[in-house]
Chains A and B, each alone.
Chain A
Amino acid sequence: MTETDSTPNRTAPTDAVDSVDAVDAVLDSLDAGDGLDGYNYAYLDEHTKREVRRSILKAIAIPGHQVPYASRPMPLARGWGTGGIQASLSILGPDDTFKVIDQGSDESVNAANIRRLAGNTADVETTTDTTDADVIQTRHRIPEEVLTDDQILVLQVPITDALRKVDSSDASNRRRHAHKNYGKMWVHLYENVVEYGEINIAARYPTMVGGRYLMDPSPIPRWDVPKLDDADNLFVFAAGREARIYAVPPHTSVEPLAFEDREFQVERFPDQSCRACGSTDTYLTEIETDDGQRHYVCNDTSFCLKRQDNEELPKDHHLDREGVDWGPGTPNNTTADSGGDAE
């Protein structure tokens, strides 16, 4: 609950006092309505929410398949998370707790504003703690802490079709999807290995969902791709500009494309640990300080804060079972390879 709703300090030049007063008056009149006046619950009208939910249900029924929906204009530009907002607002109810992250950070302007929109219009609790949230909207990351079967992760998607990288024609790509004809994407991987010696796709790594559909997992780092496989939670991918929704239901196989002898690899951070919390098993990003030094820090800020309090905190600390397989950095506490998942 680090919501900071403090009024910005409005100091304006004296010749603009009148207009500032007018703006203040408008803001006051909006504030007086407690957020919900004049808006439907959760901002969107009921027909829109029903449409989005129907598309989500269809997407769950056909894992990895892109389902079209009537994407509405939202109070921010398309490409800034409008698909994610529509999906989140359609599935949120008044009893839910909502978290929004933008590349791992709860505090980015866009994340804070989306969280506030939901808080104002859908009357939900907001949080920055991954384990407290019922619905998490995210841009380009999957949290480090393991998600559970009563959580939904909504991912914002800029480009819905993995094949667009190899062919710009959506019509022929839809045909390829219909016939599971992914030869061209494989050639792209082949050429990648020819050029770099390994598959060198930083984000939007192409994945096969349920052995059937090739899916763009949104620009999450490779680090997060293994988390999609056989997860307990539901993943909903929503694109506002392209008006497509797709999903990975719980316990669906999600396999990154790779060759038998050139396997899929996650990012490597040799000899690096988080500057703030010392973690070596999280996805790190490089930052440059004002004096030109370079440091590595955790990308998932809320988990980093928890690690700063407790260095040993495992990623599945909130579960009553151990040895959960959640991406590359999850320590496997069980001695046996199997049986760790038994409840």
Chain B
Amino acid sequence: MSLLEAEGLTKVYGDGCAVCLDRTGDRAGTNQCPICGSVVACADVDLSVKAGEVLGIVGESGSGKSSVAELLALDAKAGHTDGAVRHANHEGNLLDVDYQTRHELQNGEISLVHQHIRDGLELGFSGGGNVAEKLLSAGWRNYEEIRERVGSLFEATEIPVDRMDDPTSTYSGGMQRRVQIARALANDPNVIILDEPTTGLDVSVQARVLDMFRRVQREEDVAAVVVSHDLGVIRLLADRTLVMRHGRIIESGLTDRVMEDPHHAYTQTLINSVI
């Protein structure tokens, strides 16, 4: 069985009505229900990730990528959700678990790197403190061991270790992104969800963050779901790719196949527009 599986993931913002799902999606050309005005952020999304595999999700802005990422990371906020997320080490639908179990899962097996730095980091804390929070929440109580672990995570993610005790607000954007990744790796999760890992970074920093992540991902053999609007990022990182539009998956396959031989008209436009 694969490590992480999702079936029929659906997220609707608004009251919803009986025809919401029929009147939205790729064929309807919109993600907003013409009857009740609800926004169907994503619907009927099925996917699976094997241990150590990287799955890419690509699509234009508003196609529902981030909603899928939040659902997978058990970080869903307001709105009506449906569907199931299953993890190999747990029984049942992870979307239904209580707060306590969800908290344990997020501290252990499933990590999320947020799209917005402010959602994932406490900027008043030091960079080391942000990473240590994950360890402390998981019950680490030995100061020297925590320091050592945080230091080695900083090295792995190529953050200068001397900056470890400075407030995170004084870090550059690329360093903050790397602190998020270090934080996500802290408790040896077996799957990491990255939501737009390179947003707001200039091209050279993007390349270093991606290189770093690719190396760490292989060394730690951690599975990942990478969500991005940037085909370059997906091409570099992902083994398999899903293409989303208007809240639905319109195409999926090995990344090389999707890039070289896109079947869906939208995917063809997407790839041609990049090249």
Contact = CB atoms under 8 A, between A and B. Distances in A.
B142 A261 contact: yes
Contacts of B146: 190, 259
Contacts of A190: 128-129, 132, 136, 143, 146
Contact of B165 (A181, A183, A194): A194
A20 B41 CA distance: 76
B143 A179 contact: no
B125 interface: yes
A179 B100 contact: yes
Nearest to A186: B136
B132 A179 contact: no
A259 B132 contact: no
A169 to B, nearest CB: 13
A191 interface: yes
Interface string A184-207: 101100110111000000000000
Interface in A194-235: 194-195
A260 interface: yes
B133 interface: yes
Interface string B106-141: 000000000000000010011011101110110001
B238 to A, nearest CB: 32
Contacts of B260: none
A261 B136 contact: no
A262 interface: yes
A191 B126 contact: yes
Given A179-B100, A261-B142, A191 B125 contact: yes
Given A190-B132, A190-B136, A260 B125 contact: no
A195 B143 CA distance: 13
A190 B128 CA distance: 9
B142 A184 contact: no
The B contact surface, by secondary structure, is: helix
Contacts of B103: 179, 181
A86 to B, nearest CB: 34
A181 B103 CA distance: 9
Contacts of A193: 143
Most buried by B among A181, A183, A193, A261: A183
Contacts of B137: 181, 183, 186
A187 B143 contact: no
Nearest to A180: B100
Given A179-B103, A186-B136, A187-B136, A259 B125 contact: no
A191 B125 CA distance: 8
B45 to A, nearest CB: 29
Most buried by A among B103, B129, B136, B144: B136
Contacts of A179: 99-100, 103
B143 A261 contact: yes
A186 B143 contact: no
Contacts of B141: 259-260
B169 to A, nearest CB: 14
A187 B142 contact: no
A50 B134 CA distance: 44
A65 B133 CA distance: 24
B133 A184 contact: yes
A181 B132 CA distance: 15
Given A186-B133, A191-B129, A259 B143 contact: yes
Nearest to B164: A194
A181 B136 CA distance: 10
Nearest to B143: A259
Interface string B155-173: 0000000000100000000
Contacts of B132: 186-187, 190
A260 B122 CA distance: 25
A247 B125 CA distance: 31
A46 B180 CA distance: 56
A257 to B, nearest CB: 9
Interface in A270-321: none
B78 to A, nearest CB: 16
B143 A262 contact: yes
A261 B144 contact: yes
Given A179-B99, A181-B103, A194-B165, A187 B144 contact: no
B100 A187 contact: no
A44 B144 CA distance: 53
Contacts of B126: 191, 194
Contacts of A191: 125-126, 129
A170 to B, nearest CB: 18
A194 B129 contact: yes
Contact of B133 (A183, A259, A261): A183
A167 to B, nearest CB: 9
Given A259-B146, A260-B141, 16 more contacts: A179-B103, A181-B103, A181-B137, A183-B136, A186-B136, A186-B137, A187-B125, A187-B130, A190-B128, A190-B132, A191-B126, A191-B129, A194-B126, A259-B142, A259-B143, A260-B142
Ordered nearest first, which 9 A-B pairs have the shortest CB separation?
Answer: A183-B137, A186-B136, A259-B143, A260-B142, A187-B133, A262-B143, A187-B129, A191-B129, A194-B165
14 contacts: A179-B103, A181-B137, A184-B133, A187-B132, A187-B133, A187-B136, A190-B132, A190-B146, A193-B143, A194-B126, A194-B129, A194-B165, A259-B142, A260-B143
